[in-house]
């Protein structure tokens, strides 16, 4: 056997083919990824997908059924609904993602502190979380908005605060388990300083679940933000937020179903996509852990 | 631990949560930036006599702890203060709207539970049925209840004209709101229930029951379901919370009277006394219902009841 032969192992398929093969096996997740990419594109460069202005009224073209000129039809003011749905992606994704990140950061911090400190501080934080979760999420957000007033930033704040306990609880119990595990014990016997122990050995494992939870929770947050915007607590008109569009569409249901239909479909598909990806990720994660 | 102590423990912890909720409501007024009179009065400019009334009502010239205790005492007596925006006392305002909301919540609860139990019983360990229902559940879980409500309205009220479009006059007006609210939450319960039912059907006791010659229906209905219900009963608290929150939006979609409309109006106009009362009210409902369900759980699971393994 020559050296030449040793390197002559059959080469695997190229990256593109490998991706295609993966996509065929995981077609659900692949489809979800594609859809979310499209939504993200709509959020980042809506002008790429539509030429219409989402807020420009055109009374002459009011309540047109879906057709060649207006793919999704037009609303009661003659605004193009496709343009509004595409531009609306920015609100839904921005609000959903910001609120989730807010909850993720503060929830993780609270959970870490509670899990590491134990004792009285842990007790205090845990009881506080219990009380906050005793309010239904949506009602808690509503009460917060009662103080701050409606608006995009206030909505993000309210939704984010309402979801903090979800993250804090999981991170706390994970931290608890890991801080007591054998390898941390061993690292401690090596005389590692506490901050190093925490940042290098506890933290990475304690927060391993957090991005997955965030992906799955993103759907819930998007539904929550659409619901609160539906009630008028979110971005104010004429902003093309999906929930707010649905609430306008509800009033025109009798003669123009399409005003309410498309934003609703957009919400459902986006939430399904995040859910599918989140669960697939979770399954992969748990499979790797054994 | 005896059953009596367990029950007492549940009730006590429920009461503690409620106390904490009232405390948070009290503190939020004091922590929120701005003068308390301005916060209570909302966006209007208070007349001097209104300001004096608020100062007297909240006892703002007394120490904080006295204010807190008197607030607590008032709330426990059902005195939630006065809405200066609506020129009315808050408590009768809320109790007057309580019944329609409780009706909706109860009906949606029934829908959710029936949907979950029926789909789980029919589709556990059935490859095709399970996949179809799994897809439907994913759809329902991902669909906001108000959007489902709009679809139901369009199909059954505007097109088929079976159910009324709005209001709360007859039983038929309750059907669509309860479906909209109950199905999206019931789908989550169904997912959990089916999983645990499938696990229960693989347990040794299922084999035993089968070996008696019992039919599949008997096994599922009489033996496995009760076993499988326990993990989903822990979801009940979440379910009740979701129903209470979702009811606010569902009432808006279907133009129903109820706490939801009061809440939304109060939040949009920054009518803080009403907002706080709604928060305390709903956490009281939540705590009461979920404690009741916890106690029901005790009745369901002999292992917890006897304090065994």
DSSP string computed for A210-277: HHHHHHHHHHHHHHHHHHHHHTT-SSPTTS--HHHHHHHHHHTTTT-THHHHHHHHHHHHHHHHHHHH
Question: Is the same domain home to B106 and B127?
Answer: yes
Q: Are residues B37 and B170 in the same domain?
A: no
For an interface test with B, which of A219, A224, A250 has the most B Cβ atoms less than 10 Å from its Cβ? A250
Total count of domains within chain B: 2
> In this structure, are B86 and B104 located in the same domain?
no
Confidence of residue B294 (pLDDT cuts 50, 70, 90): confident
pLDDT in tens, chain A (290 residues): 455 555 566 666 777 888 888 777 888 888 999 999 998 888 888 888 877 888 888 888 778 888 877 888 888 888 888 989 999 999 988 999 999 999 999 999 999 999 888 788 888 888 888 777 777 788 889 989 988 888 999 999 999 999 999 899 889 988 888 888 888 888 888 888 888 888 888 888 888 889 998 998 899 899 999 999 999 998 988 889 999 999 888 888 888 888 888 999 999 999 999 999 998 888 888 876 64
Sign of CA dihedral A106, A107, A113, A114: positive
**Same domain (yes/no): B191, B288:** yes
pLDDT band at B308 (very low <50, low <70, confident <90, very high): very low
What is the pLDDT, as a whole number, of residue A9? 60
Residues B161, B173: Cα–Cα separation, whole Å? 12
Q: Are B193 and B228 in contact (CB under 8 A)?
A: yes
Last residue within a domain, chosen from B57, B72, B90:
B90
B309 pLDDT above the threshold of 50 = no
Q: What is the pLDDT of residue B223?
A: 81
Query: Which domain, by its residues, includes B143?
Result: 99-301
Mean pLDDT (whole number) for B273-291: 87
Contacts of B259 in chain A (CB under 8 A): none
B134 touches chain A (CB under 8 A): no
Distance CA B88, CA B79 (A): 12
Domains of chain A: 94-290 (1.10.3720.10)
Q: What is the structure's pLDDT at A3?
A: 53
Name the residue in chain B with its Cα closest to that of A271: B142
Treating both helix axes as pointing N-terminal to C-terminal, what angle do B90-123 and B127-142 enclose, rounded to 10 degrees?
A: 160
Which one of A146, A224, A229 would you mutate to disrupt binding with B, by most B Cβ within 10 Å of its Cβ?
A: A146
For residues B166 and B243, the model is more confident at: B243
Regarding whether B183 and B58 lie in a shared domain, the answer is no
pLDDT value of position A168: 92
Do B17 and B58 share a domain, yes or no? yes
Residue B306 confidence (pLDDT): 60
More confident residue, A203 or B115: B115
Q: Are the C-beta atoms of A234 and A95 separated by less than 8 Å?
A: yes
Across the interface, which of A131, A137, A233 has its CB nearest the CB of B267?
A233
Shortest Cα distance from B58 to chain A (angstroms)?
A: 18
Candidate from B143, B246, B275 with C-beta closest to A143: B275
Q: Using CB atoms, which residue from B240, B253, B263 is nearest to A142?
A: B263
Q: How far is CA A118 from CA A175, A176, B158, B202, B277, in A?
A: 10, 8, 58, 39, 34
Nearest in space to B167 (alpha carbons), one of B240, B263, B103, B109: B103
Name the most confidently modeled range: B27-31, B35-39, B112-116: B112-116
Residue B307 falls within a domain, yes or no? no
Q: Check whether residue B53 and residue B173 sit in a common domain.
A: no
Give the sign of the dihedral formed by CA B147, CA A231, CA A243, CA B247: negative
| Same domain, residue pair B62 and B81 | yes
A100-104, B121-125, B158-162: range with lowest mean pLDDT: B158-162
Do residue B144 and residue A139 have CB atoms under 8 angstroms apart? no
Q: Is residue B308 part of a domain?
A: no
Q: Are residues B74 and B126 in the same domain?
A: no
Q: Do the domain assignments include residue B263?
A: yes
Contact with chain A for residue B136, Cβ under 8 A: no
Model pLDDT for residues B90-101, shown as the tens digit of each residue: 898 888 888 999
Strands (E), chain B: 82-83, 88-89
Both B155 and B22 in a single domain?
no
**B residues 173-212 near A, CB within 8 Å?**
none
A135 with B21: Cβ contact below 8 A: yes
Task: Tell me if chain B has a CB within 8 Å of the CB of A124.
Answer: no
DSSP 8-state assignment for residue A21: H
Helix ranges (H only) for chain A are 3-6, 15-25, 27-44, 46-49, 81-117, 119-134, 137-148, 152-179, 182-189, 194-196, 203-206, 210-230, 242-251, 258-289
Instruction: Specify the CATH number for the domain of residue B139.
Output: 1.10.3720.10
Distance (Å) from the alpha carbon of B152 to chain A's nearest alpha carbon: 11
Would B141 be classed as within a structural domain? yes
The pLDDT tens digits of the residues spanning B229-245 come to: 877 777 877 888 889 88
Task: Give domain status of residue B22, yes or no.
Answer: yes
Q: Which residues of B touch A253 (CB under 8 A)?
A: 150, 153-154, 158
**Pick from B147, B150, B248: which is nearest to A253 by CB?**
B150
B113 vs A: CB within 8 A: no
End of a domain among B25, B58, B90?
Answer: B90
Best A96, A126, A134, A247 residue to mutate vs chain B (most B CBs within 10 Å): A134
Contacts of B15 in chain A (CB under 8 A): none
Task: Tell whether B13 and B125 lie within a shared domain.
Answer: no
The answer to whether A115 contacts chain B (CB < 8 Å) is: no
Inter-chain contact A231–B252, Cβ cutoff 8 Å? yes
In this predicted model, which residue has the larger pLDDT, B29 or B234? B29
State which residue of chain B sits closest to A225, comparing Cα positions. B144
Q: Find chain B residues with C-beta within 8 A of A275's C-beta.
A: 138, 141-142
- Residue B306 maps to a domain: no
Highest mean pLDDT among A60-69, B48-57, B101-110, B201-210: B101-110
Q: Which comes out higher in pLDDT, residue B183 or A14?
A: B183
Contacts across the A-B interface (CB distance below 8 Å): 137
Strand bridging mode B82-83 / B88-89: antiparallel
Examine residue B78 and state whether it is found in any structural domain, yes or no. yes
Report if residue B123 sits inside a domain.
yes
pTM: 0.86
**Are the beta carbons of B216 and B285 closer than 8 angstroms?**
no
B26 touching A, CB under 8 A?
no
pLDDT of residue B13: 82
Distance of CA B262 to the CA centre of its chain: 16
Partners of A80 in the beta sheet?
Answer: A74
Specify whether B115 is located in the same domain as B189. yes
Q: Which of A36, A139, A141, A259 should one mutate to test binding to chain B, selecting the residue with the greatest count of B CBs within 10 A?
A: A139
Q: Could you say which of B41, B64, B90 is where a domain stops? A: B90
CB of B267 less than 8 A from some CB of A: yes
Distance CA B262, CA B88 (A): 13
Can you give the pLDDT at residue A290? 46
Q: What is the structure's pLDDT at A1?
A: 47
């Amino acid at each position: 056997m020559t050296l030449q032969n040793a390197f002559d192992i059959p080469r695997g398929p190229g990256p593109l083919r490998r991706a295609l093969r993966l996509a065929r096996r995981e077609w659900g997740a692949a489809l979800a990824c594609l859809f979310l990419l499209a939504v993200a594109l709509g959020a980042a460069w809506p002008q790429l997908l539509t030429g219409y202005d989402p807020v420009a009224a055109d009374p002459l073209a009011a309540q047109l059924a879906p057709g060649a000129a207006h793919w999704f039809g037009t609303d009661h003011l003659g605004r193009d609904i496709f343009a509004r749905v595409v531009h609306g992606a920015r609100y839904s994704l921005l609000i959903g993602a910001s609120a989730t990140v807010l909850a993720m950061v503060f929830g993780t911090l609270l959970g870490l502190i509670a899990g590491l400190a134990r004792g009285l501080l842990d007790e205090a934080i845990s009881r506080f979380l219990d009380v906050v979760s005793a309010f239904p999420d949506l009602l808690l957000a509503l009460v917060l908005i009662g103080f701050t007033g409606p608006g995009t930033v206030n909505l993000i704040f309210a939704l984010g605060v309402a979801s903090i306990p979800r993250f804090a609880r999981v991170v706390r119990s994970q931290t608890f388990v890991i801080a007591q595990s054998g390898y941390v014990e061993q690292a401690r016997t090596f005389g590692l300083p506490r901050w190093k122990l925490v940042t290098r050995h506890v933290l990475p494992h304690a927060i391993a679940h957090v991005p997955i939870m965030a992906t799955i929770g993103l759907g819930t947050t998007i539904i929550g933000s659409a619901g609160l915007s539906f009630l008028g607590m979110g971005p104010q008109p004429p902003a093309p937020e999906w929930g707010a569009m649905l609430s306008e569409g509800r009033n025109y249901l009798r003669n123009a179903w399409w005003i309410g239909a498309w934003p609703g479909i957009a919400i459902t598909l986006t939430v399904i996509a995040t859910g599918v990806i989140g669960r697939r990720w979770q399954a992969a994660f748990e499979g790797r852990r054994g | 631990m005896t059953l009596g102590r367990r029950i007492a423990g549940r009730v006590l912890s429920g009461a503690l949560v409620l106390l904490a909720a009232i405390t948070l409501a009290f503190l939020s007024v004091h922590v929120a930036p701005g003068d308390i009179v301005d916060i209570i009065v909302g966006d209007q400019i208070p007349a001097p006599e209104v300001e004096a009334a608020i100062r007297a009502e909240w006892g703002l010239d007394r120490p904080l702890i006295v204010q807190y205790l008197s607030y607590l005492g008032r709330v426990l007596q059902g005195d939630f203060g006065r809405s200066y925006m609506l020129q009315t006392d808050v408590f009768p305002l809320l109790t007057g709207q309580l019944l329609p909301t409780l009706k909706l919540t109860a009906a949606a609860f029934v829908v959710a539970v029936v949907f979950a139990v029926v789909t789980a019983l029919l589709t556990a360990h059935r490859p095709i049925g399970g996949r179809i229902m799994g897809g439907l559940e994913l759809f329902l879980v991902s669909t906001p209840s108000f959007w489902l409500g709009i679809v139901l309205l369009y199909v059954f009220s505007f097109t088929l004209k079976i159910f009324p479009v709005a209001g709360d006059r007859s039983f038929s007006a309750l059907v669509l709101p309860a479906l909209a609210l109950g199905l999206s939450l019931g789908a989550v319960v169904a997912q959990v229930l089916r999983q645990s039912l499938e696990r229960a059907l693989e347990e040794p006791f299922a084999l035993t029951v089968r070996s008696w010659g019992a039919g599949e229906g008997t096994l599922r209905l009489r033996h496995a379901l009760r076993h499988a219900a326990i993990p989903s009963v822990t979801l009940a608290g979440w379910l009740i919370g979701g129903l209470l929150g979702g009811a606010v939006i569902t009432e808006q979609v279907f133009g129903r009277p109820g706490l939801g409309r009061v809440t939304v109006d109060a939040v949009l106009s920054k009518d803080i006394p009403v907002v706080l009362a709604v928060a305390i009210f709903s956490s009281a409902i939540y705590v009461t219902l979920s404690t009741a369900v916890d106690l029901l759980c005790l009745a369901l699971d002999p292992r917890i009841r006897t304090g065994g393994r």
